[in-house]
Chain A
Amino acid sequence: MQPILPEDIQFQIDQLANQELYVHLELTTGAYASHLDSTRHPASAFISNAVIRYTQGSISGTGPYRVGLKTTLGWIYAEGLTHIDEMDKDRLILAGHDSQGKLIVALQLSRDKF
């Protein structure tokens, strides 16, 4: 994984527009959040292999970054993105890692099922 360079991400977002895609979207504090610190509220959500199509998408912010995708009927949004799998050229594999290095958010787009 490498730190995000927004220009590269924007290029990939444009490449994937206007076609059927599989999306994995996730936000998680982890299952141990309140075990390790009782003041924290554990919350997580993920959806895997949902089929979507977007007409317009962009990355914004100065890091951690936000991505918004305008889909046929609504929006997809992720905040807190820091890293990209730079080895994966066909798919867009974005993740956000917190100060301890743990994954806290993930947004992944692919033409094929994950």
Chain B
Amino acid sequence: MNHNHAEHQRILVVLPHPDDESFVASGTLSMYIASGAEVTYACLTLGEMGRNMGIPPFANRVTLPAIRKDELAASCLAIGIQDLRMLGFHDKMIEFEDEDLLDSQIMQLLKELTPSLVITFYPGYSVHPDHDATGAAVIRTIDRLPAAERPLVYCSAFASNREQMIGKADVTIDVTEFLANKMASIQAHRTQFQAAELVGNQDLTEEEMRRRFGTEQFWTYRFVESS
């Protein structure tokens, strides 16, 4: 897919955990920001219920929220995100939150920022209950806007059955040019990235970095038109 990097000048990212932005969209965001885009990242929680505490562990349940707040700010700096909003919801509890409260905060951001592109998780295909609930809240809220006012929505999905259920991603972005930003964003999350399923604690070769982190994929959400 051919990308005109200047096509989106105002982007809203809505994800639940510090470090979701790193793995989902840090390369794509760096690319748009290099072309002059303004990015707002609404991060719903501080990831305070995370299990990774650094290797060896240097954080605990009590100290984790403040540590992850700093990591999040450092990650945004690495990507170039100009506007970080921490919405203050409790980690792991998004699916149990008051939907009206959640939706009204997202609606407020949409009205204030009028983004042309929103990035979030694909509801139902994003593994972590917080991911699915965040994506669902974003889609529900945007669905309430008149069709002409709806921004484009790119969803990230990584459930094993995603292609079987929703087909192949329709947006594939080569972010190799912005790999340095992406790796810096990932590594800003010092309590997290050494986990084996994320980066691990070995230094990666250039080739491994490209292979594992060189592209970002999204599914454009198709809203069903109601009459």
Question: Who on chain A is nearest to B56 by CB?
Answer: A101
Complex-state Cα separation, A53 to B87, whole angstroms: 34
Q: Which applies to chain B's interface (DSSP): helix, strand, loop or mixed? A: loop
Instruction: List, in ascending order, chain A residues with CB within 8 A of B55's CB.
Output: 101
User: Which residue of B57, B128, B129, B196 contacts A95 across the interface (Cβ within 8 Å)?
Assistant: B57
Segment of B45-53, B67-75, B97-105, B178-186 engaged in the interface with chain A: B45-53
Q: How many A-B residue pairs have CB under 8 A?
A: 69
Among A44, A83, A101, find the residue whose CB has the most chain B CB atoms closer than 10 A.
A101
Complex-state Cα separation, A26 to B127, whole angstroms: 21
Complex-state Cα separation, A36 to B196, whole angstroms: 11
B160 to chain A, nearest CB (A): 7
B interface footprint on A75-98 (CB within 8 Å = 1, 0 otherwise):
000000001010010010101010
Complex-state Cα separation, A103 to B55, whole angstroms: 11
Q: How many residues of A contact B (CB 8 A)?
A: 26
Instruction: List, in ascending order, chain B residues with CB within 8 A of A97's CB.
Output: 53, 57
Instruction: List, in ascending order, chain B residues with CB within 8 A of A104's CB.
Output: 51
Instruction: List, in ascending order, chain A residues with CB within 8 A of B53's CB.
Output: 1, 95, 97, 101-103
Instruction: List, in ascending order, chain B residues with CB within 8 A of A30's CB.
Output: 51
A31 to chain B, nearest CB (A): 5
Instruction: List, in ascending order, chain A residues with CB within 8 A of B195's CB.
Output: 100-102
User: Which residue of A26, A44, A83, A85 contacts B62 across the interface (Cβ within 8 Å)?
Assistant: A85
Instruction: List, in ascending order, chain A residues with CB within 8 A of B196's CB.
Output: 100
B66 to chain A, nearest CB (A): 13
> Do residues A36 and B197 form an inter-chain contact, with CB atoms below 8 A?
yes
Q: Given A1-B57, A97-B57, A100-B195, is A88 in contact with B62 using a C-beta cutoff of 8 Å?
A: yes
Q: B: which residues have CB within 8 A of A?
A: 49-63, 92, 127-130, 159-160, 194-197
- 7 residue pairs from A and B, CB less than 8 Å apart: A31-B128, A31-B129, A35-B127, A93-B60, A101-B195, A103-B50, A104-B51
Knowing that A35-B127, A36-B197 are A-B contacts, what are 5 other residue pairs whose CB atoms are under 8 Å apart, sorted by A's residue number? A1-B60, A83-B60, A102-B195, A103-B50, A106-B60
